[in-house]
Amino acid sequence: MTNSDTESPAEALKAFFRNHASGVAIITGRSGDDSPIGFTATSLTSLGTNPPLVSFNVAQGASFYPHLVEGAFVNLHALAVENLELAIALAGPREERFQSANWHRDSNQVPVFHGATAVLHCKILKVVEVESNAVVIVQALDGFAGDGSTPLLYHQRAFIAGGKILKSNAK
Amino acid sequence: MTNSDTESPAEALKAFFRNHASGVAIITGRSGDDSPIGFTATSLTSLGTNPPLVSFNVAQGASFYPHLVEGAFVNLHALAVENLELAIALAGPREERFQSANWHRDSNQVPVFHGATAVLHCKILKVVEVESNAVVIVQALDGFAGDGSTPLLYHQRAFIAGGKILKSNAK
């Protein structure tokens, strides 16, 4: 390890998270005028199974933020390496995010992208504002999952593939 | 993708997170009697840089939980594949977690494990209780980071290595 002492707390945080890999996901919802909305996220994390909750973090300045209100429905998508283009598109210009034909609306009118490794239909339980950001807590309603494709990850400012298994706890 | 509809919301959440890979980290702190405490976590995520905040999720039943109080110091460690044994040790029996010689106490008496890819020294800002779990929000103080080892991840109940670069955004 090269110990490069960082200059400020913000720089230290950025350096830390460049080294901390994350799974890549897509979160979709709908706006007040029923337009599909969505973005690529690397902050999805489980918050227990009883009740089944998930948290993710967003900036309050994000275009998506005003639509993240208690009771709104959102769909979470876990991505595999095959979904790289989708991950890039949903991090790109807003008007181009839903140009692909590979999605439909579910019974709550929330977009579901086809080909994601797993989809979790959720309802927003709580939005906890923290400084200029927020922790959004959603409750899982139902979902479906595939059979274990190679996951898509973000690390050192790059999309990377999951690699070899080092130690399995699976029965 | 095999669409295996899951049975309950909790089962759907578990199936989703088996497919969603996470970076593996270690969080350390100290107990009331000054003993070193720590655990392996897959929920670290950035919560903005101004101010520089990080969130992680814990069960309120965890042994660590009573020590996660506002103002307490914790150290976050990003792990590389070389840290696999450390990740396994810090997820194992409590009395064995600090048996390795590869750590020291920082000026706040909080353990720092040597060899982590990056370390971020933090102070707990807020603990948000949600049902039987909690979102812990910490403020970054300072840290140091290495030069980009292969990250250690958790996916499909296994520790895996980061794989090949698919698309880089690095300048």
pLDDT tens figures, A86-106? 999 999 999 999 998 899 999
Residue A119 has pLDDT above 90, yes or no: yes
Q: What is the average pLDDT value for chain B, to the nearest integer? A: 93
**Helix (H) / strand (E) containing B43:** none
pTM above threshold 0.90: yes
ipTM: 0.94
**Residues of chain B above pLDDT 70, percent:** 96
Chain A contact for B22 (CB, 8 A cutoff): yes
Structure token digits, residue B76: 């976050």
Contacts of B55 in chain A (CB under 8 A): 55, 57, 130, 135
H helix intervals, B7-163: 9-19, 84-89
More confident residue, B4 or B137: B137
Q: Are B19 and A144 in contact (CB under 8 A)?
A: no
Q: For A15, which DSSP code? A: H
Q: Is A126 on the interface with B (CB under 8 A)?
A: yes
**Which residue type is seen at A145?**
A
Nearest CA distance, B36 vs chain A (angstrom)? 22
The span from the CA of B55 to the CA of B76, in Å, is 11
pLDDT tens for residues A121-159? 999 999 999 999 999 999 999 999 987 799 999 999 999
Contacts of A121 in chain B (CB under 8 A): 12
